[in-house]
């Protein structure tokens, strides 16, 4: 058992490293590509594309909960080793996603086209381009539904290397498209061209994931199958996640649509740019989470309660440490970072980015607990409570925007709701993991608070004392790294975790230890 857990830890580290290599490469290309695309399209067209693509993704209200169910059931059956059950879960999942993708096509071409043309704020003369951008986004959403079972199979088998390859190719294609938009010669409308070519690239990459899964995993086959018992079990699980899917979509893309209606596409552009930086940073955390999730599910499936708890605790701490390490210099030097990146920074972008990062840090304080609850399959209470709390984001944002508040109000409300969600999540998952609040403070939150407090002081003093510019940016960035990494190692990690980290570094970078 000990050897098996050691192998799991090594595999977790290996999969995370695969995904980190992808993230660093994609981060550089993504930021440069976004700058080129913003300059090529202009602020309004960039905002239009962000708004209509977000609205298109709202048609996945139902299927979002199904995607979670597919991932959970495939990973669970992978943990039990039941091959026949894996094949049945995959077949039913793929059939459902194909049906739902066709339903979404019909709804998008009727209700969706009407809403874009009559309710969204689109500058005069850009209506046709906005409709085509919406249609291309819908096709991308449809292909994303069909590929979902194949992606779940990749995660269940923990083959994270293919994600690194696909995402690197995606980043290169996006850069190529950005360069063509900026320097190429063409007569087509730039927004329509960008949306159409990018949809084609995205669908092609999703087809590659389908081909990979079909070749490597025996369960990934299209079969016409209807198992009433399994269908009811999966839909029952998805049903409790449905409210969560609705609340997540409305709090994200629904709020984005409200911003378009009340504030216009320029503010959508600012939100989109801030989200680009946030997503680039969050990729580092998502890599760890993607690698950790199947291990938590398999540990619970093997009825190993203590190891499940250990993984959940470590998931909270390390995901937040990773996010904080990268976010701290961006939080302190957001204005310089965006000016360096974009040159001319749209209004509200810097504020949006800082508030988004703070909101993410709060959300990570309980994120791994949701993974544990999903692994149990007993998600009714957790899903309903969390979903109803998060669902408040949409009406609260609507109310404040209708009253004329600045668009930052949607982020303030989101942070407040995240704090409430933290208390609700810990109270519910307490019954699953059987922990005490004293245990949580000792093993998770006290180390986190020590790391944040001790690593923030010196960089913050530097920001307050030094003049704005390159030297301050370099000094603050260096201080953030020099203060945060030792704080994580010696205040945030246990002795065994610290020894494991040093062992990985020693194996990967032996020259650092030659004189020891």
3-state secondary structure 358-369: HHHHHHCCCHHH
Q: Both 427 and 443 in a single domain?
A: no
Q: What is the mean pLDDT of residues 41-50?
A: 92
Q: What is the mean pLDDT of residues 200-226?
A: 86
Please tell me which residue, 64 or 432, carries the higher pLDDT value.
Answer: 432
Query: What pLDDT, on a 0 to 100 scale, did the predictor assign at position 7?
Result: 56
* Domain termination site, one of 398, 420, 435: 435
* Domain termination site, one of 435, 461, 493: 435
Query: What pLDDT, on a 0 to 100 scale, did the predictor assign at position 84?
Result: 80
Place of tokens 């959940």: 312
Query: What pLDDT, on a 0 to 100 scale, did the predictor assign at position 188?
Result: 86
Please tell me which residue, 80 or 326, carries the higher pLDDT value.
Answer: 326
Kindly state whether residue 513 falls inside one of the protein's structural domains.
no
Q: Both 14 and 162 in a single domain?
A: yes
Kindly state whether residue 515 falls inside one of the protein's structural domains.
no
Based on the number of CB atoms within 10 Å of its own CB, is 228 exposed (0-12), middle (13-18) or buried (19 or more)? exposed
Segments in 364-469 forming alpha helices (H): 367-376, 380-391, 393-402, 409-433, 437-440, 446-465
Instruction: Say whether pLDDT at 513 is over 90.
Output: no
Question: Over pLDDT 70: what percentage of the chain?
Answer: 89
Q: Both 421 and 492 in a single domain?
A: no
Of all helices (H) and strands (E), which one includes residue 480? helix 470-487
**Per the structure, how many domains does the chain have?**
2
Q: Both 467 and 364 in a single domain?
A: no
Query: What pLDDT, on a 0 to 100 scale, did the predictor assign at position 399?
Result: 96
Please tell me which residue, 406 or 430, carries the higher pLDDT value.
Answer: 406
| Sequence-distant (≥ 6) Cβ neighbours of residue 196 within 8 angstroms | 132, 136
Place of tokens 């018992």: 229
Q: What is the mean pLDDT of residues 491-514?
A: 70
Q: What is the mean pLDDT of residues 207-236?
A: 80
Q: Both 281 and 357 in a single domain?
A: yes
Helices 393-402 and 380-391 cross at an angle (nearest 10°) of: 10
Based on the number of CB atoms within 10 Å of its own CB, is 172 exposed (0-12), middle (13-18) or buried (19 or more)? middle
> What is the spatial distance between Cα 418 and Cα 363, in angstroms, rounded to a whole number?
6
Query: What pLDDT, on a 0 to 100 scale, did the predictor assign at position 386?
Result: 84
Q: Both 475 and 407 in a single domain?
A: no
Kindly state whether residue 33 falls inside one of the protein's structural domains.
yes
Give the DSSP letter string of 43-100.
HHHHHHHHHHHHHHHGGGTTHHHHHHHHHHHHHHHHHHT-HHHHHHHHHHHHHHHHHH
Kindly state whether residue 98 falls inside one of the protein's structural domains.
yes
Query: What pLDDT, on a 0 to 100 scale, did the predictor assign at position 75?
Result: 74
Instruction: Say whether pLDDT at 511 is over 50.
Output: no
Q: Both 224 and 259 in a single domain?
A: yes
Query: What pLDDT, on a 0 to 100 scale, did the predictor assign at position 57?
Result: 84
Place of tokens 């070749």: 215
Q: Within 10 Å of residue 480's Cβ, how many Cβ atoms?
A: 26
pLDDT in tens, 284-342: 777 677 777 777 877 777 777 788 888 888 888 988 998 999 899 999 999 998 998 88
Hey, is 314 helix, strand or coil? helix
Q: Both 499 and 364 in a single domain?
A: no
Kindly state whether residue 111 falls inside one of the protein's structural domains.
yes
Q: What is the mean pLDDT of residues 107-132?
A: 92
Kindly state whether residue 81 falls inside one of the protein's structural domains.
yes
Instruction: Say whether pLDDT at 18 is over 60.
Output: no
Kindly state whether residue 511 falls inside one of the protein's structural domains.
no
Q: What is the mean pLDDT of the chain?
A: 84
Query: What pLDDT, on a 0 to 100 scale, did the predictor assign at position 160?
Result: 65
Instruction: Say whether pLDDT at 466 is over 80.
Output: yes
Q: How confident is the model at residue 82 (pLDDT cuts 50, 70, 90)?
A: confident
Q: What is the mean pLDDT of residues 20-37?
A: 78
Q: Both 146 and 109 in a single domain?
A: yes
Q: How confident is the model at residue 23 (pLDDT cuts 50, 70, 90)?
A: low
Which pair of structure tokens corresponds to residue 211? 């081909």
Q: Both 276 and 219 in a single domain?
A: yes
pLDDT in tens, 342-380: 888 888 999 999 999 999 999 888 888 877 877 777 777
pLDDT in tens, 245-293: 778 788 888 899 999 999 999 999 999 888 888 887 787 777 677 777 7
Of all helices (H) and strands (E), which one includes residue 435? none
Question: Over pLDDT 90: what percentage of the chain?
Answer: 37
Place of tokens 């059987």: 434
* Domain termination site, one of 435, 463, 487: 435
Q: How confident is the model at residue 12 (pLDDT cuts 50, 70, 90)?
A: low
Question: What is the phi/psi pair of residue 331, to 5°?
Answer: -60, -45
Q: What is the largest CA-CA distance in the chain?
A: 70
Q: How confident is the model at residue 498 (pLDDT cuts 50, 70, 90)?
A: confident
The domain in which residue 384 lies consists of: 2-435
pLDDT in tens, 429-463: 888 778 888 888 888 899 999 999 999 999 999 99
Q: Both 336 and 216 in a single domain?
A: yes
Kindly state whether residue 482 falls inside one of the protein's structural domains.
yes
Q: Both 397 and 466 in a single domain?
A: no
Which pair of structure tokens corresponds to residue 173? 């294609």
Buried (b) or exposed (e) across 338-369, using 16+ Cβ within 10 A?
beebbeebbebbbbbbbbbbbbbbbbbbbbbb
Query: What pLDDT, on a 0 to 100 scale, did the predictor assign at position 465?
Result: 94
> What is the spatial distance between Cα 392 and Cα 247, in angstroms, rounded to a whole number?
8
């Amino acid at each position: 058992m000990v050897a098996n857990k050691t192998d799991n830890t090594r595999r977790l580290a290996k999969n995370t490293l695969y995904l980190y290599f992808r993230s660093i490469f994609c981060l550089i290309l993504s930021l440069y590509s976004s700058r080129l695309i913003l300059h090529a399209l202009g602020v309004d067209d960039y905002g239009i594309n962000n708004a209509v693509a977000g609205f298109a993704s709202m048609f996945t209200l139902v299927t979002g909960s199904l995607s979670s169910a597919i991932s959970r059931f495939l990973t669970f059956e992978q943990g039990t080793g039941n091959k026949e059950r894996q094949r049945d879960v995959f077949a039913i999942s793929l059939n459902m996603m194909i049906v739902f993708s066709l339903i979404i096509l019909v709804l998008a071409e009727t209700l969706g086209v009407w809403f874009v043309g009559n309710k969204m704020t689109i500058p005069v003369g850009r209506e046709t381009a906005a409709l085509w951008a919406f249609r291309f986004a819908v096709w991308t959403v449809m292909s994303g539904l069909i590929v979902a079972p194949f992606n779940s199979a990749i995660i269940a088998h923990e083959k994270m290397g293919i994600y690194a390859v696909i995402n690197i190719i995606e980043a290169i294609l996006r850069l190529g498209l950005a360069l063509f938009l900026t320097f190429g010669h063409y007569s087509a409308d730039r927004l329509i061209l960008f949306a159409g070519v990018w949809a084609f690239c995205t669908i092609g990459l999703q087809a590659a994931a389908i081909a990979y899964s079909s070749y490597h995993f025996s369960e990934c086959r299209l079969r016409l199958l209807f198992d009433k018992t399994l269908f009811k079990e999966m839909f029952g699980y998805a049903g409790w996640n449905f409210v969560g899917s609705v609340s997540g979509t409305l709090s994200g893309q629904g709020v984005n649509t409200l911003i378009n209606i009340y504030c216009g596409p320029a503010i959508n552009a600012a939100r989109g740019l801030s989200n680009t930086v946030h997503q680039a940073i969050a990729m580092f955390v998502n890599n760890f989470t993607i690698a950790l999730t199947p291990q938590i599910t398999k540990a619970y499936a093997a009825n190993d309660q203590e190891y499940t708890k250990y993984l959940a605790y470590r998931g909270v701490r390390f995901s937040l440490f990773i996010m904080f390490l990268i976010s701290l210099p961006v939080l302190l030097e957001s204005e310089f970072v965006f000016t360096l990146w974009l040159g001319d920074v749209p209004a509200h972008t810097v504020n949006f980015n800082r508030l988004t990062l703070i909101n993410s840090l709060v959300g990570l304080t309980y994120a791994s607990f949701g993974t544990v609850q999903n692994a149990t399959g007993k998600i009714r209470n957790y899903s309903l409570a969390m979903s109803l709390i998060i669902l408040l984001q949409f009406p609260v944002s609507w109310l404040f925007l209708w009253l004329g508040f600045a668009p930052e109000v949607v982020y303030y409300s989101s942070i407040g709701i995240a704090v409430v969600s933290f208390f609700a999540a810990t109270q519910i998952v307490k019954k699953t993991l059987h922990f005490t609040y004293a245990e949580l403070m000792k093993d998770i939150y006290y180390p986190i608070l020590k790391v944040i407090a001790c690593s923030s002081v010196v960089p913050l003093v530097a920001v307050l004392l030094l003049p704005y510019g390159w030297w301050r940016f370099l000094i603050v960035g260096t201080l953030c790294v020099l203060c945060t990494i030792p704080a994580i190692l010696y205040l945030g990690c246990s002795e065994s975790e610290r020894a494991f980290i040093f062992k990985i570094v020693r194996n990967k970078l032996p020259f650092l230890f030659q004189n020891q």
